[in-house]
Structure 1
Amino acid sequence: MRKTITFIVALITLGLHAQDKKWTLIECVEYALENNISVKQSELDVQSTDIDRMVAVGNFLPSLNLSGSVSENTGLSFNPVTNNAQTTTFLSATGRINVGYTLFDGLRNLRQVQRAKISKLASEYRLDKMKDDISLFVANAYLQVILNKANLEVLTSQNLVTKDQIERTQQLVDAGSLPRGDLLEIQATDATEQQGIVNAENQIQISLISLAQLLLIKDYENFDVEDEGYDIVDDGISEKNISEIISSARNNRSEIKIAEQDVELAEKDLQIARGSYLPTLSAFFGYDTRYTDATSFTQVQDPDNPVSIEQIGVVQETGQAVVGEFPNTVPQITGADPFIDQLYQNDGIGYGLQLNIPIFNGFATRANVNRGKINLERSKFQLEQAELDLESNVYQAYVDAKGALKSYEAAKSALASQELAYDYAKERYDVGLTNAFDFSQSKLRYDNTKIDLNNAKYDYIFKLKVLELYFGIPATDLKF
């Protein structure tokens, strides 16, 4: 009983600990890279290229095939051992071993191995790009949660100030120092802020669900993220020249590497197609044997009349007959030799070379070569387009990061100014020099400015990380 209670307590403690867990951004990114379906599909593509390479390497090895057959013949059939026609029922079996090896095939096997290596490299680059994209999606969704939490914190803290103002205004109204309309104005502000808090809480929940779905986590209720320790971390990327960032992106980004590998694949495909113009030389070796249980006839000497005397000629001078003795034979049925004996008695081998010279195949080879040339030109255009797109994207990310930084700096300045205006309005309201409506408007502007600063801050963080990705920093090494 005591062990049962201990086990139940351990489960409850473990469950509470799981509910208290808050995911960090690095944990979310690593979890997504391990469990995201698109990433898993890209990993399968890499594994598939390993199979293609195995097949290509296997083309250099000789082929070995075993074949055999067993049949039963009834009626007039040819004995497979004696090749005599006979009417009977017999069982026959044949076995064959064939070995083949391609000596030359227009270098197509070599090109296939080279192509398999390039294809694997291209798949690995696609996997890297997929991981970068997923990491960026997770970071964006994560920062959205942090932003929503920061906005909720602003609304909640400012609402506490409003509630304090309600208590103070209530006291001044009861004392006759302020009209009741000021109290109603502050209470209306409190109701509006409460509504904003509810909306902010809903936004947090929605953003958490979106992030959980991106991570393929189904426990939405207990899923939460760590909302502390995230600030602007700039390792000097924003101070670098745009040309330096573009140069680094060309050397590191997977988009360019994928396009370059596609060009090399197209070149290999063209070489493989041209290999069909060349002859193919192959060697072969075959060994076969046979067995049958069919009986056969042999001639044996007649035991009752072993010999017979027959005239074989005449002496020309005397006319005397010349006679000789000949054995008398009679047919006798002979059973089949043992199975093992027949295997080596009836075996045979064959070997040689085979040369195939292509002369005309309905323009199929020429069509494949021309198609390969077109694909090569298309892949070159795609590489050029990928370079242009990357340059454009880097420029856009650079401008966005610079613009986001300016917006963040402007938001900080606006907050400092609005905070002074709010403090001034609060002082005037406390001494009765301004009414509740004007104070509420000043407080509203101050609250909105703090929210604008949060938006600008996390927008700059995200765009700065995008720029760092283009510069070549791995997604898992990004600092926040």
Structure 2
Amino acid sequence: MKKSNLFFLILFTCWATIGQAQAKKWTIAECVNYALEHNISIRNTALDGELAAIDKKDARGNFIPSINANASHSWNIGLNQNITTGLLENQTTQFTSMGVGANVDIYKGLQNQNRYRRSALAEVAAQYQLSKMKDDVSLNVANAFLQILFNKENIKVQKELLAANERQFNRTQQLVDAGSVPRGDLLDIKATVADSKQKLVAAENALLISRLSLAQLLQLDDFQNFDIADENYDAKQSEVMFQTPESIYKKALENRVEVKLAQTNLDIANRDIKIARGAYQPTLQGFYSFNSRISYADVPYVINGQVIGTRSPDPFFTQFDDNKGHNFGLQLNVPILNGFAARNNVSRSKVNAERAKIALEQSQVDLERTVYTAFTDANGAFNSYESANTALEARKNAFEYAQARYDVGMMNAFDYNQAQTLYANAQSEVLRTKYDYIFRTKIVEFYFGIPIIQQ
């Protein structure tokens, strides 16, 4: 193969690859799944869950004895006390000491047990918070996705309207040249064409902004090449809409994480009360320590109570064994008066528990209001969609009648443009109410327990 042919083959392959990469169309499922993995708010909330897991490990560690080792080496120069003989001596010596100690809580007013249970509840609360954040992001992504679909279809409507106006302009130009219609009709049609171009530009800008909004939710940098698949959604009435608002609310009350999160926070607050009350009770702690020391100074040589000289120090391990010591026991602390700190902590915890109880009640009220509002809005959106379809059919017939009259010279350009504008507005209204109903239905399904995307 010639080098030139090979070069063009490689170049064509690269272009084809780039074209395929740019032609990727994101489905709503891909958008939601990608957002759940890359959204900043979700990633930040997930870190709260990791911190809660670490706090749980800390609480579990309170049951384990604390063990610490220590060692020191010192130089003493001048008149110092020999820590081995207890005598004051003017000398330079070195000493090594080492030890290990352990402490264990035997009884601490059940505070360790309650702290561990509290940390487990906090970990569950963090998981609920993460689930709520994922649900919010999923709804936002679905709304942004449907907004792009609406803008795309609206552009099609505006393009069709512009093409029709341009065709009408060309025909009117011919009629003006033939002297069949006044020149004023041509000016009106020309203004209508300009207005259609302006609406098309506005629709294209709206599409660009909606794509940018979704790309930001997905944390994508190259939003200019970002596009979604042209999925077809039917605006048929969902089976969930045949349920009563009461049944939807009861289902949401069982499944929604908002209520579960509030209930968990109340459980945490009640556990805090038990932890605070544990300070009223005595605490019992066991302790143990081991230590030894080694001296590197010469040792006095004593016979019959007389120091007659010195000798080299004993070997390291001999001194370590001879100078070792053990210390162990129990320590009991009984709280008597501590400035009402324990009592105030209990009272403070009770206030926080009452706040959590009110928050639980408020979450239930908010959920009920949200479900009823969503159900009412979905029904209203469906009625609006049906009305818009009825209006579209009437506007279509009116426009066809106006066009027939305009073609035979029985209607002026201004009235014709008015009929055409009303028809185009009716088409846009059908699209708007359609996607508004689809999204509001998804909200109702979401509270009924149906996920945003069907896997």
TM beyond 0.5? yes
Distance 2:58 2:236 in 1: 49
> Could you say which residue in structure 2 is the equivalent of 1:448?
425
Aligned equivalent of 2:265: 262
Q: Distance in 1 between matches of 2:342 and 2:255?
A: 38
Which residue, out of 98, 110, 114, partners 1:111? 114
SS at match of 1:350: strand
The 2-side partners of 1:33 and 1:187 are apart by 49
Which residues of 2 match residues 219-368 of structure 1 at below 5 A? 219-232=222-235, 234-300=237-303, 331-368=308-345
CA distance in 2, matches of 1:394, 1:463: 11
**Further displaced range: 8-17 or 331-340:** 8-17
Q: After superposition, what is the alpha-carbon deviation per residue over 1:387-410, rounded to whole angstroms, capped at 9, x for unaligned? A: 111111111111111111110010
Larger Rg: 1
Q: Tell me whether 1:470 sits opposite 2:438 in the alignment.
A: no
Bigger mean CA deviation after superposition, 139-148 or 457-466: 139-148
Provide the C-alpha distance between the structure 1 equivalents of 2:381 and 2:97, rounded to a whole number of angstroms: 82
1:332–1:4 Cα change, 3 Å:
farther
Q: Which runs of 5+ in 2 are unaligned?
A: none
Q: CA offset at residue 6 of structure 1?
A: 7.1
Structure whose residues are more often helix by fraction: 2
Paired residue type of 1:477 = Q
SS where residue 294 of structure 2 aligns?
strand
Specify whether residues 88 and 210 from structure 1 end up closer, same or farther in structure 2 by C-alpha distance, changes over 3 A only: same
Which letter maps to 1:239?
F
| AA aligned opposite 1:84 | L
**CA separation in 1, counterparts of 2:165 and 2:193?**
6
Matched, 1:439 2:416: yes
- TM superposition shift of 1:41: 1.0
| Aligned pairs for 1:159-238 within 5 A | 159-232=162-235, 234-238=237-241
| 2:147–2:210 contact (8 Å) kept in structure 1 | yes
Structure 1 residues 7, 268: closer, same or farther in 2, change over 3 A?
A: farther
Counterpart check, 1:392 vs 2:392:
no
- The one-letter amino acid paired with 1:382 is A
Q: How many Å apart are 1:241 and its aligned residue?
A: 0.2
> Which stretch shows the higher mean deviation, 391-400 or 367-376?
391-400
Change (3 A) 1:10 1:59: farther
CA distance in 2, matches of 1:470, 1:49: 28
SS at match of 2:398: helix
Counterparts of 1:47-126 in structure 2, within 5 Å, are 47-126=50-129
Bigger shift: residues 341-350 or 161-170 = 161-170
Residue 451 of structure 2 aligns with an amino acid whose one-letter code is P
User: 1:255 Cα shift?
Assistant: 1.2
Structure 1 spans left out of the alignment, 5+ residues: 301-326
Structure 1 residues 414-465: Cα deviation after superposition (integer angstroms, max 9, x where no partner): 0011111111112222223222222211111100000011111111111111
**Within 1, Cα distance between the matches of 2:105 and 2:307?**
55
Aligned partners of 2:101 and 2:290 also within 8 Å: yes
Indicate how the Cα distance of structure 1 residues 9 and 52 shifts in structure 2: closer, same or farther if over 3 A, else same: farther
User: How does the TM-score come out when normalised to structure 1?
Assistant: 0.90
Amino acid at match of 2:440: K
Q: Is the 8 A contact 2:300 2:307 kept in 1?
A: no
Q: Which residue identity is paired with 1:230?
A: Y
Structure 2 Cα separation of the partners of residues 424 and 356 of structure 1: 97
Q: TM-score, normalised by structure 2?
A: 0.94
| Higher deviation after alignment, 12-21 or 404-413 | 12-21
Matching residue's letter, 1:344: D
In the TM superposition, what is the alpha-carbon distance from 1:55 to its structure 2 partner? 0.5
1:151 corresponding residue in structure 2: 154
Going from structure 1 to structure 2, the CA distance change for 1:384 and 1:70 (only over 3 Å counts) comes to: same
The C-alpha deviation readout for 1:15-71, integer Å capped at 9, x for no partner, is 322222222222211111111111011100111110011011111111110011111
**Percent of matched pairs sharing the same residue:** 43
Q: Which amino acid aligns with 2:137?
A: I
Root-mean-square deviation over aligned CA pairs: 2.1
2-structure distance, mates of 1:82, 1:226: 90
Aligned partner of residue 224 in structure 2, secondary structure:
coil
CA deviations over 1:338-394 (Å, ceiling 9, x no partner): 112111111111111111111111100000000011111111111111111111111
Distance 1:274 1:9, change over 3 A: farther
Residue correspondence of structure 1 range 366-381 to structure 2 within 5 A: 366-381=343-358
